[in-house]
Amino acid sequence: MSVPVRDVSVFGDAITYFNEAANLLDIDPGARALLTHPSRQITVAIPFQRDAGGLEVLTGYRVQYNFLRGPAKGGIRYHPGVTLDEVTALAFWMTWKCAVVDLPFGGAKGGVTVDPTSLSESELERVTRRYAAELIEVIGPDKDVPAPDVGTTPQVMAWIMDTYSMHARQNVPGVVTGKPLALGGSRGRVEATGRGVSIVALDQMEQMGIKAQGARIVVQGFGNVGSIAAEMFAAQGSRIIAISDVSGAYHNAKGIDIAAAVAHCARNRTLAGFQGGEQISNEQLLELECEVLVPAALEKVLTQENAERVKARLIVEGANGPTTPEADHIFNRNGIVVIPDIIANAGGVTVSYFEWAQDRAGYFWKESEVNERLADVMLTNFAKLRTLAQQRGVSLRTAAYMVAIDRVVTTMHLRGVYA
Ligand code: NAD
């Protein structure tokens, strides 16, 4: 039985991927029904004062998709396009992401429909504290642990940690991850997602006989994930021939100076005005001839409209949900290998797990230890799903979902259903 796809929403796409894997596993209809329903969807009003006076109200969400394997876990997105549908899809993906790398977490995600660059620092703080206060009963180290995502930063996590701690009348660093180091953050957390992207990409490139040295890499999105992944590839001697962000895309066949691009972004917030490459469109960037394409911006950028024109040999999904199911089928047919989001960008939540564990123990690890354990988690679980993909003759995406669904269903059967 397939759970019907309700519409072509982001969550609808996510369910399509779930169904493709669940069809290959012997899962009873009840388990399927349970796993395709979010446990809890919360919508809150966020009133806040503008610096110049005047009250405005934003809408915020937190979706706690599943708690079977542990506290819910997932980032918070501040973006004007945030909807309940998108947050639900992201929470759904977090459930499988945590399971595919075998972390003791369920899945969640949060978001506020706002362009954070339209807020002053103090407005951003007020919005964040009110959002955190609205969620105070449902988050916590043993309930649901937020982290950064698009448009949020370690400073935003610091305000959430402080708001929660003031209400609890004690310091509770484990309520969020991705905090500044001085507040109980983990070494290596800022770099973890981009580092994880490069770890699985380099492993797969080796399998495919693509040498890292000189490999042409294209990266869409130059925020936390995209810029760090680009730095990691550059450190291996790869040539980053194009990068992009919300301001546009920049191409340089000889290889972009990534350190210069990072410095430009630090000064100007975006790549606008970057002189290290000729300007092309974001659409052209996705269709460049290259060995590896890393979409690291937002959902639904690789679709049936452009998939046939994609020339990369390997796509590594730094972003969540960048490929629609239609595009995914085209890539499979054309022999383009896709490392799916739920494993490719799982480095962030893996080091978030390390941060949560360090906070609870009150004992902090060296960066080398964090990076070593991260590589071990990523490579062990990636090898497991790649073997399954080979054995069953399925894509890496379907294999990743199969591993994840099997782990969650095993927990569900052991726990039983409280009714
Ligand atoms: P970020 O806010 O740091 O960066 C996002 C980047 O995408 C920015 O450079 C922005 O300018 C760019 N962008 C936005 N719209 C674009 C467009 N239309 N075309 C090209 N670029 C565009 O966010 P991030 O944390 O790097 O997250 C990026 C993706 O990675 C998201 O899908 C997020 O869910 C996913 N992700 C992030 C983490 C994490 O730890 N930060 C972990 C796992 C997955």
Is 150 in the same domain as 229?
A: no
The per-residue pLDDT for 87 is: 97
Residue 179 annotated in active site: no
Q: Is the dihedral of CA 341, 96, 326, 386 positive or negative?
A: positive
Is 340 in the same domain as 201?
A: yes
The catalytically annotated residue of 97, 109, 211, 366 is: 109
Query: Domain ends where: 135, 168, 184?
Result: 184
Mean pLDDT, residues 35-39 = 97
Q: What is the pLDDT of residues 60-75, one digit of tens each?
A: 999 999 999 999 999 9
Is 155 in the same domain as 129?
A: yes
Q: What is the pLDDT of residues 150-199, one digit of tens each?
A: 999 999 999 999 999 999 999 999 999 999 999 999 999 999 999 999 99
The per-residue pLDDT for 13 is: 87
297 within ligand 1 shell (Cβ under 6 A) = yes
Residue nearest to ligand 1 atom 32, measured at CA: 319
224 within ligand 1 shell (Cβ under 6 A) = yes
Query: Domain ends where: 344, 378, 410?
Result: 344
Q: Distance from the CA of 10 to the center of ligand 1, in angstroms?
A: 16
> What is the band of 124 on the pLDDT scale with cuts at 50, 70, 90?
very high
- The preferred substitution site among 179, 222, 224, 228 for testing ligand 1, maximizing ligand atoms within 8 Å of CB, is 224
Q: Is residue 62 part of a domain?
A: yes
Is 78 in the same domain as 157?
A: yes
Is 180 in the same domain as 194?
A: no
Residue nearest to ligand 1 atom 30, measured at CA: 319
Q: Is residue 396 part of a domain?
A: no
Q: Is residue 157 part of a domain?
A: yes
Is 129 in the same domain as 178?
A: yes
CATH number for the domain that contains residue 212: 3.40.50.720
Instruction: Name the average pLDDT for the chain.
Output: 96
- Locate the ligand 1 atom nearest the alpha carbon of residue 226 and give its number: 26
The per-residue pLDDT for 8 is: 61
Is 116 in the same domain as 252?
A: no
Q: Is residue 236 part of a domain?
A: yes
Q: Is residue 390 part of a domain?
A: no
Query: 163: domain range?
Result: 39-184
Q: What is the pLDDT of residues 79-113, one digit of tens each?
A: 999 999 999 999 999 999 999 999 999 999 999 99
Is 58 in the same domain as 143?
A: yes
Is 339 in the same domain as 294?
A: yes
Q: Is residue 72 part of a domain?
A: yes
Residue nearest to ligand 1 atom 31, measured at CA: 319
Q: Is residue 355 part of a domain?
A: no
Query: Could you write out the three-class secondary structure of 206-248?
Result: HHCCCCCCCCEEEEECCCHHHHHHHHHHHHCCCEEEEEEECCE
148 within ligand 1 shell (Cβ under 6 A) = yes
Query: Domain ends where: 294, 309, 344?
Result: 344
Is 156 in the same domain as 229?
A: no
Q: Distance from the CA of 25 to the center of ligand 1, in angstroms?
A: 32
Q: Which residue has the higher pLDDT, 1 or 10?
A: 10
CATH number for the domain that contains residue 67: 3.40.50.10860
Q: How many domains does the chain have?
A: 2
298 within ligand 1 shell (Cβ under 6 A) = yes
Is 205 in the same domain as 329?
A: yes
- The preferred substitution site among 155, 298, 299, 352 for testing ligand 1, maximizing ligand atoms within 8 Å of CB, is 298
Burial class (CB in 10 A: 0-12, 13-18, 19+), 323: buried
Burial class (CB in 10 A: 0-12, 13-18, 19+), 205: buried
Q: Is residue 95 part of a domain?
A: yes
pTM score of the predicted model: 0.96
Q: List Cα–Cα distances, 124 to 87, 155, 156, in angstroms.
A: 20, 10, 8
Is 145 in the same domain as 56?
A: yes
> What is the band of 2 on the pLDDT scale with cuts at 50, 70, 90?
very low
